[in-house]
């Protein structure tokens, strides 16, 4: 058999594919990277980077409007969407060189721009060029899912792939979907002056989270003016530019009509698996997804999946984690290497919502013996100083105190959660967090205060009496 041209061929230049390509080249592998659209993938061009940039501008507008809460004269902002989106574009442009073909060619990666497909189990063809490799990595990402709603294909609608191209004002916005993207964009556009309505077939937003956690976010969004219609089916959508009409039906069968100038579809995502010539490569599909095992290997033992296309949780940090696993597999032949089951995530609403491990609802549903500890931000001095006291931290442990999961809803939750990410991965006990010195005043102090709840739990009147007796304490007068 002829020697393969490359050690690794990466298909897709998104977050995961770029890490595999750069890491492989740095370790001495001969690597080819194929990208048919934009380097950087969804995260840079349509996802994490633009959405968080937009959220920052929206937060500034909100702070101007609510400055009286800090004894500063408030201002009535008049955000210009075109100017705001130009800042979004500038941030993307500033990061783009890091993900550019030129940079990766400079790293020694053979970057090939074009659409390709497998023509054999060991060959991927792009523009007439046949690429053979010891290992292939499919990192083609995902795209917005568009539900089969009557009339939707006939009206102008936005997805995360077109939203940041807006250069016109958005007086009113209808959003299909109350998940993370829907909630983040609902708050952003509301703060930028739009009248926002969210429609979802679920009975609440962020249904993956515990109800008491998602309620904190919902209450804040409602306070700011976002309207919600839950447990609704969408009968049909009609209209044209700046005149979208959505007909919805509740569980009782009653119908009503919502109207807005713009429509955003934020109803999940679909893996990009079409047109890859999977059959020629001996790669099987499972219910529309590429089948893979726990090590990310497909039914072709030389082809692996990375990131969104692998299914499961679709986050940039998961794609980066997959990339590290695949480099171990492809270069060091560590066939036992597989992704961690402990994946943290954050929804970047204000307040933020972050989680790692088991939720309370999951513990109850799965019958896991557990205890729940919680502490509110309204008792954290830093939160009080900054006027951001909504929310709480909630920790799930086994009966002996080993941390099974944690959820934080509140200021800087996406940053504060990382202490629990380490704790869950290392099987730490809550008392270990209680013993750690936390800087005062910080939002992260809430982690110690939650942990202290378990220690206080053991201080019963009986144990207190024994302490007084053994150590000769007098007690309060």
> What pLDDT digit, counting tens, does each position of 36-45 carry?
999 999 999 9
Q: Which of these, 182, 220, 206, lies nearest to 62 by C-alpha position?
A: 220
Q: pLDDT-derived band of residue 456, with 50, 70 and 90 as boundaries?
A: confident
> What pLDDT digit, counting tens, does each position of 171-200 carry?
999 999 999 999 999 999 999 999 999 999
Note whether 417 and 356 are within 8 A (CB). yes
> What pLDDT digit, counting tens, does each position of 277-290 carry?
999 999 999 988 99
Note whether 34 and 116 are within 8 A (CB). yes
Q: What is the pTM of this model?
A: 0.94
The mean per-residue pLDDT over the stretch 9-25 comes to: 97
Q: What residue ranges do the domains of the chain occupy?
A: 6-144+270-330, 152-269, 351-457
The mean per-residue pLDDT over the stretch 122-133 comes to: 96
Tell me which fold the domain 152-269 belongs to.
FAD/NAD(P)-binding domain (3.50.50)
The mean per-residue pLDDT over the stretch 17-34 comes to: 97
Note whether 258 and 240 are within 8 A (CB). no
Q: Which of these, 150, 195, 187, lies nearest to 169 by C-alpha position?
A: 195
**pLDDT above 70 covers what percent of the chain?**
100
Q: pLDDT-derived band of residue 477, with 50, 70 and 90 as boundaries?
A: low
Which of 140-154, 214-228, 448-462 shows the lowest mean pLDDT across its residues? Answer: 448-462
**pLDDT above 90 covers what percent of the chain?**
93
d(CA 68, CA 82): 28
Q: pLDDT-derived band of residue 62, with 50, 70 and 90 as boundaries?
A: very high
- In sequence order, the β-bridge partners of residue 345 are 355
441: preceding bond cis by omega (within 30 degrees):
yes
Please, is 143 exposed, middle or buried when counting C-beta atoms within 10 Å of its C-beta (0-12, 13-18, 19+)?
middle
CATH annotation of 351-457: 3.30.390.30
> What pLDDT digit, counting tens, does each position of 85-126 carry?
999 999 999 999 999 999 999 999 999 999 999 999 999 999
> What pLDDT digit, counting tens, does each position of 462-473 carry?
877 888 888 888
pLDDT at res. 468: 80
> What pLDDT digit, counting tens, does each position of 310-365 carry?
998 999 999 999 999 999 999 999 999 999 999 999 999 999 999 999 999 999 99
Per-residue pLDDT for 2 more than 90? no
pLDDT at res. 60: 98
| Residue-averaged pLDDT of the chain | 95
6-144+270-330 is classed in which CATH architecture?
A: 3-Layer(bba) Sandwich (3.50)
Provide the total of helices (H) and of strands (E) in the chain, helices listed first. 15, 23
d(CA 433, CA 455): 11
pLDDT at res. 386: 97
Tokens 């917005």 belong to which residue? Answer: 144
> What pLDDT digit, counting tens, does each position of 354-409 carry?
999 999 999 999 999 999 999 999 999 999 999 999 999 999 999 999 999 999 99
d(CA 362, CA 217): 20
- In sequence order, the β-bridge partners of residue 246 are 237, 258
Domains 6-144+270-330 and 152-269 share a fold: yes
Tokens 């202290």 belong to which residue? Answer: 452
């Amino acid at each position: 058999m002829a020697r393969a041209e490359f050690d690794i061929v990466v298909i897709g230049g998104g977050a995961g594919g770029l890490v595999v390509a750069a890491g492989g080249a740095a370790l001495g592998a001969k690597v080819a990277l194929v990208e048919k659209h934009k380097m950087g993938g969804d995260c840079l061009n349509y996802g994490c980077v633009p959405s968080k940039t937009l959220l920052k501008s929206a937060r500034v507008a909100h702070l101007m409007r609510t400055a009286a809460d800090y004894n500063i004269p408030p201002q009535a902002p008049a955000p210009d969407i075109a100017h705001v989106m130009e800042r979004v574009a500038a941030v993307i442009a500033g990061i783009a060189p890091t993900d550019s073909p030129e940079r990766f060619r400079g790293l020694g990666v053979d970057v090939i721009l074009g659409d390709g497909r497998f023509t054999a189990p060991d060959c991927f063809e792009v523009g007439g060029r046949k690429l053979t490799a010891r290992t292939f990595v499919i990192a083609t990402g995902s795209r917005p899912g568009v539900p089969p709603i009557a009339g939707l294909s006939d009206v102008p609608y936005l997805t995360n792939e077109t939203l940041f191209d807006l250069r016109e004002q958005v007086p009113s916005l209808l959003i299909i979907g109350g998940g993370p993207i829907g909630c983040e964009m609902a708050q952003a556009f509301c703060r930028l002056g739009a009248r926002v309505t969210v429609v979802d077939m679920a009975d609440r937003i962020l249904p993956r989270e515990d109800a008491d956690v998602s309620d904190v976010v919902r209450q804040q969004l409602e306070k700011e003016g976002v309207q919600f219609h839950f447990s609704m089916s969408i009968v049909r959508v009609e209209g044209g530019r700046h005149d979208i009409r959505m007909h919805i039906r509740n569980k009782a069968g009653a119908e009503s009509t919502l109207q807005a100038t713009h429509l955003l579809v934020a109803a999940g995502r679909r893996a990009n698996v079409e047109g890859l010539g999977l059959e020629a490569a001996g790669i099987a599909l499972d219910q529309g997804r590429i089948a893979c095992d726990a090590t990310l290997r497909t039914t072709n033992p030389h082809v692996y999946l990375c990131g969104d296309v692998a299914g499961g949780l679709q986050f940039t940090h998961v794609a980066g984690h997959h990339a590290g696993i695949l480099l171990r597999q492809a270069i060091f032949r560590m066939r036992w290497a597989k992704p961690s089951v402990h994946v943290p995530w954050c929804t970047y609403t204000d307040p933020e919502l972050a989680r790692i491990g088991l939720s309370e609802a999951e513990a109850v549903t799965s019958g896991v013996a557990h205890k729940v500890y919680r502490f509110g931000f309204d008792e954290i001095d830093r939160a009080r100083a900054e006027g951001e006291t909504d929310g709480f931290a909630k920790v799930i442990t086994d009966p002996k105190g080993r941390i099974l999961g944690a959820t934080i809803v509140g200021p800087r939750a996406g940053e504060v959660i990382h202490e629990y990410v380490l704790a869950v991965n290392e099987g730490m006990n809550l008392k270990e967090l209680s013993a750690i010195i936390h800087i005062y005043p910080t939002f992260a102090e809430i982690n110690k205060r939650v942990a202290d709840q378990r220690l206080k739990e053991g201080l019963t009147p009986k144990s207190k009496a024994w302490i007084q007796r053994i150590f000769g304490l007098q007690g309060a007068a």
